[in-house]
Amino acid sequence: MTNLDGTLVQATESPQRLVDLVFRLREYGIIAVLVIFIAVTTGLQPRFLGQQNIKFILLNATIYALLALGETMVVVSRQMDLSVGSVLGLSAYVSSNLFGQVHGIPIPVVFLAGIGIGVACGVVNGAITALARVPGLVVTLATLYIIRGIDISIIGGGEVVASSLPAHFLAIGSDSVVGVPYVTMCVAVVIAAGAYFLRSFRSGRELYAIGSNPDAARLVGIPIGRRVFTSYVASGAIAGLAGVLWATYYGTVDSTAGTGYELTVVTAVVVGGVAIFGGSGSVIGAAFGALLLSTIATALYALNVSPFWDPALDGLLLVLAITLDRTLAVRLANAMRKRTFRHEP
């Protein structure tokens, strides 16, 4: 009896620990790549780690890392949100345009307006995906076009210029303490909260369950539709927030704001170790994925390499990352099979 119990406990625990270890290795792996990359670049160009440059890298990475948080929540549940770039654009324009329309509007209201627009878009995405049970990839591909179209018809040929925005608002995107921009700190807090939610909350864990096996998730009674809906709303709200931050950072907003961001964000998420068909990956990894992409872009500049190399390197990195993931997954599956056999003679 005790013997049986003992082997049972071992057999269920040690593969669990192995899985944990591999996933943590993946997270540390991306950080290691980042550190090595920074070390090599700094070795070649010592000024790379200057305060100004760090601030630049962090500011660039901030919006992508924030979007990556929302995208991660959607991707781990085996969906995809392609509309984030369009939502960002719409939110950036409408929120920053409020300063011109309502004199002396408080900045928090502007932020709420941006987030509200994001929530509205997320509700549309989530409701269609969950109610009609159609793939979110297709739904958000459609809303990518529709929201961008709405954005363009609202703006026409116009734009919001930085001079029409209050200095306090623009300061959010540019001021910093000891080289770390305020906006980066705020986003880091949001990302930490998101990571905690996905890691430790029941509904967060259920997103992983849905992503790794939708049928099993349904059978154990997880409300798939509601969870998927919520993750789209969260992703929309985050994209709305990112839109306002985008406006504080760039100051000038026209109808092209955020065009093409969706694929960069998906790239960052996948490079950061989130499986494209859901079930595994972490918010922290995705944030570091965004940071890595942004660091590469800046490093090319610092090393005097043509910026034309940037997309090719990003693409190569993505292909390498998923190849590595695949190899690890196969190894892991083999190792677990061996362990199971060893404990069940």
Partner 1 sequence: MNPEPTSGVSEPQPSSTVLARLSRFRVLARWEVALLAAVVAVFVVGRVVSPEFLTSYNFFDMGISNGELAIMALPMTLIVATGEIDLSVSSTLGLASSLLGLLWMHGWPMPAIIVVVLACGAVLGAFNGVLVTRVGLPSIAVTIGTMLLYAGIGEILLGSNIVSNFPATYTNIGVYGVPGIGLSYSTVIFFGLAIIFGAVLHFTPFGRSIFAMGANQEAAIFSGVRVKRTKTILYIVSGIVCSGAGILYTFKLSTAEYDNGTGLVLSVVAIVLLGGVSIFGGKGSMVGVVFAVLIYAGLLDALLLTGFPQQASGIVIGGLLLLSVLVPSVPEFRSRLRAGRHRLQRQAPEAAIVHGGSVAQPRLTGDSSSKAGQGGQPI
Nearer to partner 1, 26 or 78 (CB): 78
118-137 mask for partner 1 (x: CB under 8 A)?
Answer: ----------x--xxxxxxx
268-307 mask for partner 1 (x: CB under 8 A)?
Answer: --x-----xx----------------------------x-
Residues 161-220, interacting with partner 1 (CB under 8 A): 214-215, 218
Exactly one of 19, 22, 141, 188 binds partner 1 (CB under 8 A); which one?
141
60-68, 167-175, 182-190, 312-320 -> range binding partner 1 (CB under 8 A): 312-320
10-18, 77-85, 191-199, 245-253 -> range binding partner 1 (CB under 8 A): 77-85
Residues 236-275, interacting with partner 1 (CB under 8 A): 255, 260, 263, 266-267, 270
Nearer to partner 1, 32 or 316 (CB): 316
Exactly one of 112, 313, 335, 336 binds partner 1 (CB under 8 A); which one?
313
36 contacts: CB under 8 Å, gap ≥ 6: none
Size of the site for partner 1 (CB under 8 A): 54
Residue 326 is a binding residue for partner 1 (CB under 8 A): yes
4-12, 19-27, 183-191, 322-330 -> range binding partner 1 (CB under 8 A): 322-330
Nearer to partner 1, 88 or 241 (CB): 88
Residues at the site binding partner 1, with contacts judged by CB under 8 A: 78-80, 82, 128, 131-139, 141-146, 148-150, 152-153, 156, 214-215, 218, 224, 255, 260, 263, 266-267, 270, 276-277, 306, 308-319, 322-323, 326
